[in-house]
Structure 1
């Protein structure tokens, strides 16, 4: 996003759940590829709009999760949209590298096929390389 916007208008349209969270789907802006789904709280939405770097809420860590902070696989905000019910966000991004912690481009790498579940996307970056494990 080239111009910074005031988060208040968007925040007023979002229906956060009882835990103060809203589902956020990250999509590569130019290809339409769905990269991941995560959660945002009010602070994550505001920070994302203010900085242009996508920030989520980590339920497992109980804190803000700035995408790519430890792995370098950042997401730059291109556009942020709220659905008609206000309970889901579409975060159009420019993704650096892989989006999934498994080292795949997308978190949606398992497909249901007649023969069972099949992995349809390869590991592009070994997780130990992403996180130094």
Structure 2
């Protein structure tokens, strides 16, 4: 990705996460990236209006998608929609494990096979 503040205004880092187990970490990473000058799209207020249109635009305009994976992420229809759409559009995906002992189900495993991932499940 281009260095901070030099990328196209429509391109951003998208943070895809489940509110029930990743909210605090996702917001902390959002703040750090934003402070470093990157454009970040994150659902901070839980989307209102046409949620699928907003999620679709966020994925369409993403340069990279940070996917905060967990069991709750796998069970969330909205998270799955974002993940599937990002994969269909061949977006760069960076998996981030947020649940201790979590191993991705076959679907998420196939989406992220061979990718380097970050493990925040230990609180690092």
Query: TM-score range, shorter-chain basis?
Result: under 0.3
Asked which structure has the greater RCO (Cα within 8 Å, sep 6+), the reply is: 2
| TM-score, normalising length: structure 1 | 0.23
Which is richer in helix? 2
Structure with greater strand share of residues: 1
